[in-house]
Amino acid sequence: QVQLVQSGAEVKKPGASVKVSCKASGYTFTDYAIHWVRQAPGQSLEWMGWINAANGNTKYSQKFQGRVTITRDTSATTAYMELSSLRSEDTAVFYCARGWDVSTYHRLWGQGTLVTVSS
Amino acid sequence: DIQMTQSPSTLSASVGDRVTITCWASQSISRWLAWYQQKPGKAPKLLIYEASSLESGVPSRFSGSGSGTEFTLTISSLQPDDFATYYCQQYNSYPGTFGQGTKVEIK
């Protein structure tokens, strides 16, 4: 079926980096974009950035610019989000979501990946 | 960035109640607004897109309206499965931004 499956929970120390994967199946990967959204505990949803799966073009939220890198591997139908210089405030669930363009609604979401940043 | 503001933040209601959640945009977003439902530990689920289009498989008790800067999500008769947090999202312009959420609780 059509789905996005994310990698498992991570525990990282402050200053480290984390890389979360999002594997797409059930549809043509390069027909859509993949977005990444962060949700801190008890908080709302926050858009981080997106990648055009067809050509690899990316765009990032100014809030995360310089710390986030989104890539994709078309042969593996997988997108990746790497966040560096982690701090405790980055403890959150990270979601990938499918879209069409840089600004779009999201019909399909991954299950979420909890990243805990703690010394 | 366009700011999205929802009201109320929390809503206590009973099964069978008619429930309305309002979302305001800091500038006009035409009808480029979506509504999501999120339950604890789960990903958001799309309910409404383009302000009033019901996503396939979503019960018809959910409806959306509005344009420009003011939008509403209405649940015509609240069911036990509807107790959750609801978010609006504008996708008129980059970056897409979400409201702070409305938690619908059992009264």
* Spatial distance between the Cα atoms of B52 and B56, rounded to a whole number of angstroms: 12
Q: What average pLDDT score do residues B1-10 get?
A: 97
Q: What's the mean per-residue pLDDT of chain B?
A: 97
The pLDDT assigned to A65 comes to 86
Nearest to B98 among A44, A103, A111 (CB): A44
What is the C-alpha R_g of chain A?
Answer: 13
Q: Which residues of B touch A94 (CB under 8 A)?
A: none
Q: What average pLDDT score do residues B82-91 get?
A: 97
Contact A61/B at CB under 8 A: yes
pLDDT exceeds 90 at position B20: yes
The pLDDT assigned to A102 comes to 86
- pLDDT tens digits for range A32-85: 999 999 999 999 999 999 999 999 999 999 999 899 999 999 999 999 999 999
What's CA B28's distance to the chain center, in Å?
17
Q: Residue B29: which pLDDT band, with cuts at 50, 70 and 90?
A: very high
DSSP string, A26-74: SS-GGGSEEEEEEE-TT---EEEEEEETTT--EEE-TTTTTTEEEEEEG
Q: Which residues of A touch B58 (CB under 8 A)?
A: none
Q: What's the mean per-residue pLDDT of chain A?
A: 97
Using alpha carbons only, give the angle A71, B98, A106 rounded to the nearest 5 degrees: 50
pLDDT exceeds 90 at position B38: yes
Burial of B93 (0-12, 13-18, 19+ CB in 10 A): middle
Interface contact flag, B96 A103, Cβ < 8 Å: yes
Q: Which residues of A touch B93 (CB under 8 A)?
A: 103
Contact A36/B at CB under 8 A: no
| Tokens (6 digits) for A75 | 């042969």
Contact A112, A93 (CB under 8 A): yes
- pLDDT tens digits for range B88-102: 999 999 899 999 999
Q: Residue A90: which pLDDT band, with cuts at 50, 70 and 90?
A: very high
Q: What average pLDDT score do residues B23-45 get?
A: 98
Interface contact flag, A109 B43, Cβ < 8 Å: yes
Residue of A nearest to B85 (CA): A44
